């Protein structure tokens, strides 16, 4: 249920980024604003107001702390490439760790889409970042990952949301989900 709520909340946040809010309260990036637009009132025919937490809890666009950015990049690299699964495990939030064992995680059979062997993760472009309080206090960063695809002369690009929470004074990964399908283009 948490995963479904988080996906709905992430999609809601993406929609917020693209289409709603007034220019005083919903900046696209830190310090910038977008023109006013009427917020949507339904999702899949259901009233947004009836969906507790979705669109009703405000988000605040921020420049994420460097420590959080470092954890996000390290975890994405370690998890998607499967190159450092012990470190990937160490950076997981308690809620996620409660659903797996370390031994199972270290097998690489984990709920993280692996990066194909032919792809090299070379770039992390931060698209935006925001804080929100639903379902818990967290920082959400939207990344565009990209890099070369071996032997093709092409690059891939792929956008993701990563949610981080503070636990014991350190940033931990609470959730990670793709926002787009990967695309290939001339490098």
The domain made up of 66-186 has a fold known as: Nuclear Transport Factor 2; Chain: A, (3.10.450)
Residue 159: CA atoms inside 13 Å, Cβ hemisphere, count?
12
Residue found by looking up tokens 């950015």 in the block: 69
Contacts of 161-166 with CB under 8 Å at 24 or more apart are: 161/10, 161/13, 161/14, 162/72, 162/75, 162/76, 163/6, 163/10, 163/138, 163/139, 164/68, 164/71, 164/72, 164/93, 164/138, 164/139, 164/140, 165/93, 165/136, 165/137, 165/138, 165/139, 166/137
Helix or strand (DSSP H, E) at 56: none
Per-residue pLDDT of the chain (187 residues; tens, 9 = 90+): 444 444 444 444 444 444 333 333 333 444 444 444 455 555 555 554 554 444 445 678 889 999 999 999 999 999 999 999 999 999 999 999 999 999 999 999 999 999 999 999 999 999 989 887 766 688 999 999 999 999 999 999 999 999 999 999 999 999 999 999 999 986 5
Alpha-carbon span 3 to 153, nearest angstrom: 36
Asked if 105 contacts 115 with a C-beta cutoff of 8 angstroms, the reply is no
Locate the domains of the chain by residue range.
2-57, 66-186
Structure tokens at 76: 């994405």
How far apart, in Å, do the first and last CA atoms of the chain sit? 40
- pTM of the predicted structure, to 2 decimals: 0.68
């Amino acid at each position: 249920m948490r995963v479904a709520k988080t996906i709905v909340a992430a999609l809601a946040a993406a929609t917020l980024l693209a289409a709603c809010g007034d220019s005083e309260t919903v900046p696209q990036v830190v310090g910038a604003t977008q023109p006013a637009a009427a917020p949507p009132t339904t999702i899949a025919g259901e009233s947004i107001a009836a969906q507790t937490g979705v669109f009703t809890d405000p988000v605040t666009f921020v420049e994420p702390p460097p420590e959080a950015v470092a954890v996000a990049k390290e975890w994405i690299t370690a998890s998607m490439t499967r190159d450092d699964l012990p470190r990937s495990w160490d950076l997981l939030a308690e809620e996620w760790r409660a659903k797996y064992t370390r031994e199972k995680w270290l097998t690489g059979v984990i709920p993280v889409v692996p990066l194909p062997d032919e792809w090299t993760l070379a770039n992390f472009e931060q698209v935006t970042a925001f804080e929100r309080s639903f379902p818990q206090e967290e920082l959400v960063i939207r990344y565009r990952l990209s890099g070369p695809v071996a032997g093709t002369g092409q690059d891939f690009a792929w956008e993701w949301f990563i949610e981080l929470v503070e636990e014991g004074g350190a940033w931990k990964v609470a959730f990670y989900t793709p926002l787009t399908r990967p695309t290939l283009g001339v490098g």
